Structure 1
């Protein structure tokens, strides 16, 4: 289970939303060994006046939050972050300095979907990768 939120300035984010979603999903499928049909992305476009970002960033600045069940190896999470930077730079043409990524892990029992908690679900993918 992974829920992904992408925040950015509305005018810019809306232009790249589909391409960014496809790119992020390809990274998740590869690094986390997710099934292709397990995409769960939420885009949160913000008005320009509602975004304050660090010096050295541009109008393209985005934040990607990945909320997922704990259990993945450090190497797996690092690989996901590396793939995201690599592919977003190449495919979406964003600078690495305009991309921030945060992985937030929670125990499986903190997730609820299809009427059960995550620790009760029989998943069609491995979490311990």
Structure 2
């Protein structure tokens, strides 16, 4: 299970939202071996005055937070980050310096979905990749 939050300036993010979601999803499927039907993305469209960002960034500045059940290897997480940087640059035209990524993991017992505790659900994919 993984959930993705994408934050960015509304006028920059809306035109690329669907393409960005598709790119993120393909990266997650590739790096973490997720089934292709497991997508949970939420876009947080910010007004320019509500999105403060570091010097050297542009209005395309985008923050991606990925929350998932713990268990992926360092290599899998690093592969995901690398894929996201490169595929977002190549396919969405948001440059590396304008993308920040944070992966947050929590134990399966801290999750609840389909009316069950996360550590009791039988998933149709591996977490330990």
Shorter-chain TM-score tier: over 0.9
1:41-60 pair list within 5 angstroms: 41-60=41-60
- In structure 2, C-alpha distance between the alignment counterparts of 1:125 and 1:76, rounded to whole Å: 15
- Name the Cα RMSD after superposition: 0.4
Secondary structure (helix, strand or coil) at the match of 1:4 reads: strand
1:85-104 pair list within 5 angstroms: 85-104=85-104
Aligned residue number for residue 34 of structure 2: 34
What stretches of structure 1 of length at least 5 have no aligned partner? none
Aligned residue number for residue 77 of structure 2: 77
So what's the TM-score if we normalise by structure 2?
0.99
- In structure 1, C-alpha distance between the alignment counterparts of 2:26 and 2:104, rounded to whole Å: 19
Secondary structure (helix, strand or coil) at the match of 2:68 reads: strand
Cα deviation, residue 117, structure 1: 1.1
Secondary structure (helix, strand or coil) at the match of 1:36 reads: coil
- In structure 1, C-alpha distance between the alignment counterparts of 2:109 and 2:44, rounded to whole Å: 26
Cα deviation, residue 90, structure 1: 0.3
